[in-house]
Amino acid sequence: MTSCRSSDGPSSTDGANDSQVAIADLVDLCAQQIESALNEALDDVAKLSEHVIWAGQSVTDFQVTANAESDAESIDPLLKEVLTALPQVTDAINHVVTELQFADRMSQRLMNVTGNLQRLKRILNTEGTELSRDDWAAFMLELRDSFSMDAERRLFNSVIGGAANIPIDDDVGPVPPELF
């Protein structure tokens, strides 16, 4: 992501345009901060995923080996204890996988926020043009339509819909939690 102005500062001496450039810079900063934090989180999730996959495969391998050995008349008491704990380990691994799916969903939502901030930056960075109400309404519709989840569209409609004078989807009601 690049800065929305050169190091020489705003190209216009108009106060309103200077304000637009300053707001665009702030929007750019916010987008870059979100993107940076998100990339760090995604790296951590990728590493965690590798460990979970390894642990899950290890549990499966151990269960196969233990089941093959369980036909023997005497199973070591420690092995019995481990076999008893394996379902709990498997449940814990499945829980981690579910949490990773939620983290992935959160990252998608934050990437959408970053994209919307970048769209706003482009609008604010357009020098020499004043944004009309129609252009703003079109921008708001584009933002609303960029949301992939109903909960995001409902939140948009409840917070911005009426204030932006854009049509609100009648299908959108209260925001229920989405699982996947």
Does residue 79 fall inside a structural domain? Answer: yes
Counting the structural domains of the chain, the total is: 1
What are the CA-CA distances from residue 11 to residues 5, 105, 119, 130 (Å)? 8, 40, 21, 16
List, for residues 46-90, the tens digit of each pLDDT value.
888 888 888 888 888 877 777 776 655 556 776 777 777 888 888
pLDDT, residue 74, reads 58
Does residue 57 fall inside a structural domain? Answer: yes
Which position has the token pair 């916010």?
Answer: 30
Q: Are 28 and 121 in contact (CB under 8 A)?
A: yes
Q: Which pLDDT band, with edges at 50, 70 and 90, does 179 fall under?
A: very low
Return mean pLDDT, the chain. Answer: 73
- Cα(75)–Cα(59) distance, integer angstroms: 18
Sign of the CA dihedral 61, 67, 70, 72? Answer: negative
Letter for the amino acid at 67?
N
Does residue 172 fall inside a structural domain? Answer: no
Does residue 10 fall inside a structural domain? Answer: no
Does residue 92 fall inside a structural domain? Answer: yes
List, for residues 115-155, the tens digit of each pLDDT value.
888 888 888 777 666 777 787 778 888 888 888 788 888 88
Give the list of residues 6+ apart from residue 141 with CB closer than 8 angstroms, or none: 166
Residue 40: CB atoms within 10 A of its CB come to 10
pLDDT, residue 164, reads 55
Please give the residue range of the domain that contains residue 21: 15-130
pLDDT, residue 71, reads 56
> What angle is formed at CA 110 by the lines to CA 106 and CA 115, rounded to 5 degrees?
150
Does residue 70 fall inside a structural domain? Answer: yes
Joined tokens for residue 157:
């409609």
